[in-house]
Chain A
């Protein structure tokens, strides 16, 4: 897995269109004057990708007014920030989430009680997509309300009463020359805090994740900086969550952490490219997926998936056949390492592990495992099936595998190719049972003020169909780039929901959803006429999607309403559930 090849594929797409066309060379120069950029040895960068180029194409300078929210806790972001001038405030106390919500006019969802639930029978609107109000006019909440401000085409949310917020909440100040948001950017993890500009004219350098990654790769001090932060903040926790390491003492765990390297593979905004990718042949698609470890190589490390997905495949004839897929928290290579440690005859990696879309992995070298982990490994943590000899013919193996994961290869490939593995609540419909009665849609509409939130249609494999309903992705790319944070993870169940009031109908989420599960709708008044925007006379549009009936007592209405057990909201990564349901 050499990056050149990977970048080679990627570059053309990447620098055709710069992050921000306003980023001029003198801007770049001005950036290069300030530490730590001034300290970076530009010579270390490959000709193909000079530091200046990166700064020009992958970064931009943004100025904020006092109170403007820069990042919001829980949001997804694909870029890190470097403070050029001024200072920002990080809300660190437990109230932070509340602030984020209040500030954004998000009313934290609450489950309806019976009366409220029943009242939907008569309170639901008669016309589709009826809206009493469509615009978020900041709401006065203690600790500062928030407002929407559109400036040079992009909408900003700002705190109306900064001083109040400062009094109300515990905040930390960040100053010139400091980074923030880099972990979230690289690790595809939610923002951990809400940060806002303390005064007018705060200037920040926003660095796209690709840029940040490349700089990190070639500038040791940046790498150390980032890795340090990461190790401090989340590595230990992540390792600890991994069953393989559960039995280690903190010292041992720290030792492991010290040896662990992390790497990210694939394309960070895969969701943009994937629609074109899916058109191509299976093999060519597979070739684009960066190889993490290759079948036949010596197993020198165990790979932990930290974010994103990986495909496990084996060579059958001239092609690869998907055996399994891994999501966050799962790992590969342990079995081989264990085997080699136990027996003198060593085996290579049995399968090929590829990054699907964007994959972020931790690499734990096998020596570390052998030294620290295996000697004290409890019985239950040992691999429960031995490695079978590779002598058996491919077809035999096919049969064998199909017995192991009874979903059938076709279904497996289907789920992986279309990235449905991303879904924790995918709408799966058994078309052999579905009578097309639309009870699911009606139930959905009942639960959402007479508006369906999904489309009973979608890609099919055999008798299975994945409906166009938000599947609550592990990696919710839709949240990237929402200008107002209208789409966010709510605090009740952690579902991704859209806050209708703050949604400005820009459609970025709908565009970035790879599954077409977010639909833009034209809002209407009680008479059923479109609500028109005064300025443009165009209907006011809102992004809508399934919220898994967050506020309903019943849970997902669609699933409950299906008379024939044909529809289920299923966590695709939970293979047991999947098999049980498909084979029911």
Chain B
């Protein structure tokens, strides 16, 4: 079993070699006054089709078309090569035509989102694992609700228990909304916990007005906040992991379509 490090080494070096090869060919040809537009265009389109084919491979899981992970490796590195090819195709210039510009932007978005996605896919899982293991995305709403119910219950019988509504009021004004739905998306993405410490600070601030057995309630409440924050953390990061594809995949399709159009069009206009 080849280790990940070794695999990365191979992948990077091979694609570097290819990239240089492409560029050298491009230079030679342009020096010879040969127009590379057509062949680089076709090559680029071929690459894009191959990259897109990965999506198809993911659907047809029941045919022995090679492991998905192998595909991903090819997908990643040919993705990087694709960027080189693109630059070659546009001649290392910013395109001027309307359609060309549109294509370039779409390509940029697809490639960009791809790179971002690759980075996220490597970084986020670690963060998810470090903190509180796995929660399945789809179950988060359920857990959130159960948590909310339990908090409500806690507050209610704190009123019964103590006859005071101090905590209840605090909860109503400061915390209720926090428990309702996903919160603090960005600070979780950034890995900040400021929002949490702020909430804690508020809770602790409350303490000086509380009786002994109210304090225990606050402690419990604090735990609940922790739990909820955990859910939010899981929710935010997993959301990120799922939604970058909402740019990458749809735009890939328009890239292919417009690209095809651009190809036909260019070949017609002589």
Q: What 0/1 pattern do residues 531 to 574 of A give for CB contact below 8 A with B?
A: 00000000000000000000011100101111111100000000
Is A402's beta carbon under 8 Å from chain B? no
| Contact present for A562 and B129 (CB under 8 Å) | no
| Contact present for A563 and B71 (CB under 8 Å) | yes
| Contact present for A435 and B62 (CB under 8 Å) | no
| Contact present for B134 and A460 (CB under 8 Å) | yes
- CB-contacts of A421-450 with B (<8 A): 431-437, 439, 442-443, 446-447
Is B133's beta carbon under 8 Å from chain A? yes
Chain A residues whose C-beta falls within 8 Å of the C-beta of B238 in the assembled complex: 436
Chain A residues whose C-beta falls within 8 Å of the C-beta of B62 in the assembled complex: 112, 117-118, 120-121, 446-447, 552-554, 557
Is A234's beta carbon under 8 Å from chain B? no
| Contact present for A432 and B68 (CB under 8 Å) | no
| Contact present for B63 and A557 (CB under 8 Å) | no
Chain A residues whose C-beta falls within 8 Å of the C-beta of B64 in the assembled complex: 553-554
Are A563 and B68 CB-contacts (below 8 A) given A118-B62, A118-B63, A436-B241?
yes
Is B60's beta carbon under 8 Å from chain A? yes
- Chain A proximity of B188: nearest CB distance (Å): 15
| Contact present for A554 and B61 (CB under 8 Å) | yes
Is B17's beta carbon under 8 Å from chain A? no
Is B24's beta carbon under 8 Å from chain A? no
Is A245's beta carbon under 8 Å from chain B? no
Q: What 0/1 pattern do residues 46 to 66 of B give for CB contact below 8 A with A?
A: 000000000000111111100
- CB-contacts of A199-218 with B (<8 A): none
- CB-contacts of B121-175 with A (<8 A): 121, 124-126, 128-129, 133-134, 136-137
Q: Which of A432, A437, A560 contacts B61 (CB under 8 A)?
A: A560
Chain A residues whose C-beta falls within 8 Å of the C-beta of B134 in the assembled complex: 431, 436, 456-457, 460, 465
- Chain B proximity of A440: nearest CB distance (Å): 9
A552 to B64, CA, bound (A): 9
Are A439 and B124 CB-contacts (below 8 A) given A431-B129, A552-B62?
no
| Contact present for A463 and B129 (CB under 8 Å) | yes
Is B94's beta carbon under 8 Å from chain A? no
Chain A residues whose C-beta falls within 8 Å of the C-beta of B133 in the assembled complex: 431, 460, 465
Chain A residues whose C-beta falls within 8 Å of the C-beta of B268 in the assembled complex: none
Are A581 and B1 CB-contacts (below 8 A) given A446-B62, A560-B68?
yes
The chain B residue with its CB closest to the CB of A455 is B136
Is A17's beta carbon under 8 Å from chain B? no
Q: What 0/1 pattern do residues 86 to 128 of A give for CB contact below 8 A with B?
A: 0000000000000000000000000010100110110000000
What class of interface size applies to chain A in its complex with B?
35 or more
- Chain A proximity of B80: nearest CB distance (Å): 17
The chain A residue with its CB closest to the CB of B3 is A584
- Chain B proximity of A120: nearest CB distance (Å): 5
A114 to B65, CA, bound (A): 11
Chain A residues whose C-beta falls within 8 Å of the C-beta of B58 in the assembled complex: 439, 442, 561, 563
Is A580's beta carbon under 8 Å from chain B? yes
The chain B residue with its CB closest to the CB of A429 is B134
Chain B residues whose C-beta falls within 8 Å of the C-beta of A559 in the assembled complex: 67
Are A563 and B72 CB-contacts (below 8 A) given A431-B125, A436-B241, A460-B134?
yes
- Chain A proximity of B65: nearest CB distance (Å): 8
| Contact present for B60 and A121 (CB under 8 Å) | yes
| Contact present for A564 and B61 (CB under 8 Å) | no
A120 to B4, CA, bound (A): 33
- Best-buried of B4, B72, B125 by chain A (most CB within 10 Å): B125
Q: What 0/1 pattern do residues 1 to 26 of B give for CB contact below 8 A with A?
A: 10110000000000000000000000
A563 to B75, CA, bound (A): 10
- Chain B proximity of A334: nearest CB distance (Å): 30
Interface Cβ pair total, 8 Å cutoff: 88
| Contact present for B125 and A434 (CB under 8 Å) | yes
| Contact present for B72 and A432 (CB under 8 Å) | no
A117 to B61, CA, bound (A): 9
| Contact present for B121 and A439 (CB under 8 Å) | no
A433 to B120, CA, bound (A): 11
- Chain A proximity of B235: nearest CB distance (Å): 11
Are A457 and B241 CB-contacts (below 8 A) given A554-B63, A580-B1?
no
Chain B residues whose C-beta falls within 8 Å of the C-beta of A437 in the assembled complex: 241-242
| Contact present for A435 and B61 (CB under 8 Å) | no
A50 to B62, CA, bound (A): 59
The chain A residue with its CB closest to the CB of B4 is A584
Is B270's beta carbon under 8 Å from chain A? no
| Contact present for B129 and A561 (CB under 8 Å) | no
Chain A residues whose C-beta falls within 8 Å of the C-beta of B242 in the assembled complex: 437
| Contact present for A435 and B124 (CB under 8 Å) | yes
Q: What 0/1 pattern do residues 295 to 316 of A give for CB contact below 8 A with B?
A: 0000000000000000000000
Is B69's beta carbon under 8 Å from chain A? yes
- Chain A proximity of B185: nearest CB distance (Å): 17
Chain A residues whose C-beta falls within 8 Å of the C-beta of B71 in the assembled complex: 563
| Contact present for A435 and B241 (CB under 8 Å) | yes
- Chain B proximity of A388: nearest CB distance (Å): 30
A483 to B1, CA, bound (A): 43
The chain B residue with its CB closest to the CB of A583 is B3
A151 to B230, CA, bound (A): 52
A584 to B2, CA, bound (A): 8
| Contact present for A435 and B121 (CB under 8 Å) | yes
Chain B residues whose C-beta falls within 8 Å of the C-beta of A434 in the assembled complex: 125
| Contact present for B61 and A561 (CB under 8 Å) | yes
The chain A residue with its CB closest to the CB of B58 is A439
A565 to B62, CA, bound (A): 18
Q: Which of A442, A465, A560, A564 contacts B72 (CB under 8 A)?
A: A564
| Contact present for A562 and B68 (CB under 8 Å) | yes
Are A457 and B61 CB-contacts (below 8 A) given A436-B241, A564-B69?
no
| Contact present for A436 and B68 (CB under 8 Å) | no
Chain A residues whose C-beta falls within 8 Å of the C-beta of B1 in the assembled complex: 580-581, 584
Chain A residues whose C-beta falls within 8 Å of the C-beta of B3 in the assembled complex: 584
Q: Which of B59, B63, B126, B136 contacts A432 (CB under 8 A)?
A: B126
- Best-buried of A114, A460, A557, A564 by chain B (most CB within 10 Å): A564
| Contact present for B61 and A557 (CB under 8 Å) | yes
The chain B residue with its CB closest to the CB of A555 is B64
- Chain B proximity of A519: nearest CB distance (Å): 14
Chain B residues whose C-beta falls within 8 Å of the C-beta of A563 in the assembled complex: 58, 68-69, 71-72
A118 to B60, CA, bound (A): 8
- Chain A proximity of B122: nearest CB distance (Å): 8
The chain B residue with its CB closest to the CB of A581 is B1
Chain A residues whose C-beta falls within 8 Å of the C-beta of B137 in the assembled complex: 436
A434 to B127, CA, bound (A): 11
| Contact present for A117 and B63 (CB under 8 Å) | yes
Chain B residues whose C-beta falls within 8 Å of the C-beta of A118 in the assembled complex: 60, 62-63
A/B interface sample: 28 pairs, CB < 8 A: A117-B62, A118-B60, A118-B62, A431-B128, A431-B129, A435-B124, A436-B128, A436-B136, A436-B238, A436-B241, A437-B241, A439-B68, A442-B58, A447-B62, A457-B134, A463-B129, A465-B133, A553-B62, A553-B63, A557-B62, A559-B67, A560-B61, A560-B67, A560-B68, A561-B61, A564-B121, A584-B1, A584-B3
If A431-B128, A563-B71 are given as contacts, then 4 extra A-B residue pairs at C-beta distance below 8 Å, sorted by A number, are A431-B134, A552-B62, A553-B64, A562-B68
Q: Using a CB–CB distance below 8 Å, which chain B residues touch chain A?
A: 1, 3-4, 58-64, 67-69, 71-72, 121, 124-126, 128-129, 133-134, 136-137, 238, 241-242
8 cross-chain pairs, A with B, having the tightest CB-CB distances, nearest first: A443-B61, A431-B129, A563-B72, A565-B69, A117-B62, A563-B68, A435-B121, A446-B61
